[in-house]
Amino acid sequence: MFQLHYSALSDVGRVRKNNQDSGYAGPWLLAVCDGVGGAARGDIASATAISQLRRLDTAVPGADDAGHGHDPEALLGEVAGALHRAQDRIAELVDDDPTLMGTSTCATIARFDGEQIAIGHVGDSRAYLLRDGVLQQLTRDHTFVQSLIDEGRITEDEARVHPHRHVILRALDGTTDLEPDLFVVPLQAGDRLFLCSDGACGFLDDLELTALLADGTPDYAVVELVRASLDAGSTDNVTCVVADVLDDAAVVEHADELADLQPLLVGSAAELRRRLPRGRNRARGHARPVATPETGADTAVGVDELPEHAIAADPVDPETARYAPRPPERLHWLRIAMYATIAVGVVWVAGALAWSWSQDQYYVGEDAGDVVIFRGVNTDLPGLSLSTVYESSDLAVADLCSYEASQVADGLNADSLDDARSIVDNLVQQASPTGCQDG
């Protein structure tokens, strides 16, 4: 049986107004949720998902000290069930409060059973495994740019700066069918697990991540990973979870650190609970702080301080969504009216331009049995004529030969008004007794 030595840290970053990431680290579960929604409260989505997912942080039935782990299929079933419960809870919140429509969250979790982890993944947060100095990305991003990479249309480096790099194709949103990636990863003593939001992996490449994960304790690693992400120019929230896989000998070596180790909740899941009114869900117990004051990062909060996430008491703190910006609800109808006005204006301008062009067009045709010059386009729409008689002549269509008469009936297009007059003059000449070849 292995044991996890873990740490977690989340930082709002240098651009965002609030933290829409949530993270969790415990003896049996690691998780990162990256909220999407801006004004629709992506922070609530991620915190709600974590509140459901962290219920997996219990000893796995069937895993024992002899090293007999849990059945992989059953382990994956637990992970899938937790993700679906989080999806259902978000759906309930949206039903209760329509202003949350559009909220969603990415989710990447690792369920540990003593010898392996079951990964559940949806969105663009990531899970990595560092083994013997080699970093392996375990999850695949559910994003538009990842599909372009898979098709060979762009490279990994190009994806980091692609204008649509944040377009998410799958998420926990309470509305669409949930299709998480589910798989099991066997572990070895000395492995280091790393879960993060795209505020980290979107700005640090594999070489940088490997270097930062190669040394130090999990506490040290999460601080350095967050710091490096911000220094690299991350404009997003940054959440990192690191866990070392320890065998019996390593457990003895780190006994003092493991004795004080408590489950950690970071990011919006911790912040929203802190902002509850005094007297309700007051803190019970204490937590081990992870960040140092100079990092400016969030302090981790112990799980015992955080009962089930209560949405009703959360203060509203809207932020422009990083993926799909949405206006505050009070501006919804104003924005619709603005778009409608713009659409009407565009149609009116297009119509005016088309009409102006049509008034420079001429053709020769028939009106009341006479050959006339029309101004406009030689076609009609249902209930609308696109031309009018501009100039009449003394030539009757009956005076024309049958071929010329049929041409006039169909309409003879002209390049200009002078060209149209020339066509009429030619028809007059052909209408003379010597010009008609019929019979």
DSSP structure string for 77-139: HHHHHHHHHHHHHHHHHHHH-GGGTT-EEEEEEEEE-SSEEEEEEESS-EEEEEETTEEEE-S
Secondary element (H or E) of residue 300: none
Q: Tell me the pTM.
A: 0.64
pLDDT value at 418 more than 50: yes
Least confident range from 6-20, 96-110, 207-221, 268-282: namely 268-282
Contacts of 398 (CB under 8 A, 6+ apart): 369, 405
pLDDT value at 210 more than 90: yes
User: How does pLDDT run across 315-349, given as a tens digit for each residue?
Assistant: 333 333 343 334 344 455 677 788 888 988 888 88
pLDDT value at 395 more than 70: yes
pLDDT score recorded for residue 332: 57
Q: What is the DSSP string of 51-68?
A: HHHGGG-SPPTT--TTS-
Select the highest-mean-pLDDT range: 70-79, 241-250, 342-351, 410-419.
241-250
Q: How far is CA 15 from CA 12, 235, 238, 344, 352, in A?
A: 8, 5, 11, 37, 45
pLDDT score recorded for residue 400: 85
Q: How many CA atoms lie within 13 A of 77 on its CB side?
A: 6
pLDDT value at 43 more than 70: yes
Mean pLDDT confidence for 107-117 = 97
pLDDT value at 288 more than 60: no
Nearest-angstrom CA–CA distance, 78 and 370: 86
pLDDT score recorded for residue 274: 52
Per the listing, tokens 């506490």 go with 219
Label residue 69 by pLDDT band (50, 70, 90): low
- The backbone torsions φ and ψ at residue 339, rounded to the nearest 5 degrees and listed phi first, read -65, -40
Shortest CA distance to 111 belongs to which of 6, 26, 179? 26
Q: Return the percentage of the chain with pLDDT > 70, whole number.
A: 81
Nearest-angstrom CA–CA distance, 19 and 41: 10
Least confident range from 51-55, 144-148, 199-203, 242-246: namely 144-148
pLDDT score recorded for residue 307: 35
Nearest-angstrom CA–CA distance, 325 and 170: 17
pLDDT value at 279 more than 80: no
**By the 8 A CB rule, do 159 and 145 touch?**
yes
pLDDT value at 314 more than 60: no
Nearest-angstrom CA–CA distance, 30 and 53: 9
Question: Which is more confident, 396 or 39?
Answer: 396
Nearest-angstrom CA–CA distance, 311 and 338: 33
3-class SS shares of the chain: helix, strand, coil, % to 5: 35, 25, 35
pLDDT value at 52 more than 50: yes
Least confident range from 67-71, 117-121, 421-425: namely 67-71
Question: Which is more confident, 92 or 40?
Answer: 92
b/e 56-65 (16+ beta carbons within 10 angstroms → b): bbeebeebee
Question: Which is more confident, 84 or 435?
Answer: 84
pLDDT value at 276 more than 50: no
Contacts of 368 (CB under 8 A, 6+ apart): none
Question: Which is more confident, 116 or 161?
Answer: 116
CATH fold of the domain at 3-326: Phosphatase 2c; domain 1 (3.60.40)
Nearest-angstrom CA–CA distance, 180 and 106: 10
The rounded mean pLDDT for the chain is 82
Domain boundaries, the chain: 3-326, 362-430
pLDDT value at 282 more than 90: no
pLDDT score recorded for residue 331: 52
pLDDT value at 50 more than 90: yes
Q: How far is CA 158 from CA 152, 153, 155, 181, in A?
A: 11, 10, 5, 25
Shortest CA distance to 37 belongs to which of 328, 333, 323, 331? 323
- The backbone torsions φ and ψ at residue 111, rounded to the nearest 5 degrees and listed phi first, read -95, 120
Label residue 399 by pLDDT band (50, 70, 90): confident
pLDDT score recorded for residue 40: 63
Select the highest-mean-pLDDT range: 210-214, 285-289, 330-334.
210-214
